[in-house]
Amino acid sequence: MTHPQLSRRDVLGRGALGILAVAYGSGGRSRLWSAEPENGDLIARQATPFNAEPPLAKLVEKWMTPVNSFFVRSHGTVPEIDPKQFTLKVEGLVDKPLTISLAELIERFPSASTTATLTCAGNRRSEFAAIKKVGGVQWDAGAIGNAEWLGVRLVDLLKHAGVKAEARHVWFDGSDVITEKNETFSFGGSIPIEKALVTTPTGATLLATQMNGQALTAAHGFPLRTVVPGFIGARSVKWLNKITVSDRPSPNHYVADVYKLVPEENAELIAKTSPIYEFMLNSAICLPASGANLNGDRVNVKGFALTNGTTGRSIKQIEVSADGGQTWVPAKLTSPVRDFCWVLWSADVPLTPKTESLVVRATDSSGEVQPQASPWNYKGYQFNGWHKVSVKRA
């Protein structure tokens, strides 16, 4: 297939050297190897490890989020990986366990690209404070972005290795080092085998080397990451170095203990709760900004909406209210509509002299409506209550 910005020859015709040239070439070694992401457009929510999101207004400028405005969520160090020395292992319930270099991976398997939205399960966590504050990075609604990813399909690599009949889950391990409560471990994720074997152009899990036509930056997982369309960002493992096919979900801390919806820190309950996979139906207002002074009797409101990550769902309706949810104005979609991607929208909303806030809610093609309130969970995941922005009447 042909990549819109980099031709097949760019990426594959020059073989793996194509991607290495992209990595070492005009982008500059120091930029790619820097532990500091190109964070000009981001608001840091945590300095170390670096966690940052864009101001919400940036999100609605483009359907495809530029790398500079794309949130960064890292639990630990940003590893420095030499792509020439890099290898990926495939092991577990496969007929032929293998170790493959980046160059071989790119040369041996057909290139594939997909546009997919990544969102952190903790996006909008700060809004739980209205019920009860939770710990963790206090995200506004900007831990989300949409990008074009290019790489090879996980299904092609797994078929090459030969998946055994008992396989039920696929684990991903990253190279970063995370220290919490005096313990050191690496980041991992896992996905059910059915998702790993999806072959559709929109739904296939990618082993991505590029984001928006450039080699992945260090912050976003250089040289290789998974991208799992429709699943929370935690399953799109950066700095991927090992894939294990198994009969159970990964025992990694980020699958077994966290990224689960539980009301309290109770080890027994956590152990028997399934990991979160799909994201949730959600929408947010990005413009006007919270606290804006509004003149006149109408305001143009812009934002994003996202389905719950289930195959075949699309956003059917987005509504905005300027009177706390008593009356609603439909929004128009202003972006392409594609599975597992957000949509951007715009609404021209009449104001009243008493308008104190703007509120949005989305409905999907199955009839599911975004709930007014989000149930509390002690880790602060998947906040998807109606998004409200306080405004002042000038």
- Binding residue (CB under 6 A) for ligand MTE from 50, 63, 149, 239: 239
> Interface with ligand MTE includes 238 (CB under 6 A)?
yes
User: Which residues in the 215-234 window bind ligand MTE by CB under 6 A?
Assistant: 220, 233-234
Contacting range for ligand MTE; rule: CB under 6 A; set: 64-72, 102-110, 148-156, 356-364: 64-72
C-beta of 163 vs 227, nearer to ligand MTE: 227
Cis before 223? omega within 30: yes
Per-residue binding string, ligand MTE, 74-113, x by CB under 6 A, is xx--------------------------------------
How far is it, in rounded angstroms, from Cα 237 to Cα 233? 8
Asked whether position 141 contacts ligand MTE by CB under 6 A, the answer is no
Q: Which of 6, 16, 60, 73 binds ligand MTE (CB under 6 A)?
A: 73
Alpha-helical segments (H) within 203-275: 253-256, 267-272
Quote the CA–CA distance of 288 and 291 in Å, as a whole number. Answer: 8
Establish if 382 lies at the interface with ligand MTE (CB under 6 A).
no
Please tell me whether residue 32 binds ligand MTE under the rule CB under 6 A: no
- Binding-residue total with ligand MTE (CB under 6 A): 18
User: What's the rounded Cα separation, in Å, for the pair 327 and 323?
Assistant: 7
Does position 236 interact with ligand MTE (CB under 6 A)? The reply is yes
Looking at beta carbons only, is 137 or 161 nearer to ligand MTE?
137
| Nearer of residues 37 and 288 to ligand MTE, judged by Cβ | 37
Closest contact distance (angstroms) between CB of 168 and ligand MTE is 22
State the minimum distance, in angstroms, from the CB of residue 263 to ligand MTE.
21
In the range 267-296, which residues lie near ligand MTE by CB under 6 A? none
Beta 240-246 vs 87-92: how paired, if at all?
A: parallel
- For residues 374 and 128, give the distance between their C-alpha atoms in angstroms, rounded to a whole number: 8
For 158, which DSSP code? H
Q: Which two tokens stand for residue 162?
A: 């030969």
Q: Which helix (H) or strand (E) holds 388?
A: strand 387-390
Nearer to ligand MTE, 306 or 358 (CB): 306
Task: Report which of 194, 189, 205 is spatially closest to residue 250, judged by C-alpha positions.
Answer: 189
| Beta-sheet strands, E only, within 78-120 | 87-92, 98-101, 111-119
Show the site string, 12-31: x = touches ligand MTE by CB under 6 A, - = not.
--------------------
Rg (Cα) of the chain, in Å, rounded? 21
Q: Verify binding: residue 67, ligand MTE, rule CB under 6 A.
A: no
CA–CA distance, 16 with 340 (Å, rounded to integer)? 29
Yes or no: say if 124 and 39 are a contact pair by the CB < 8 Å rule.
no
Residues forming contacts to ligand MTE in the complex (CB under 6 A) are 70-75, 118, 120, 174, 176, 187, 220, 233-234, 236-239
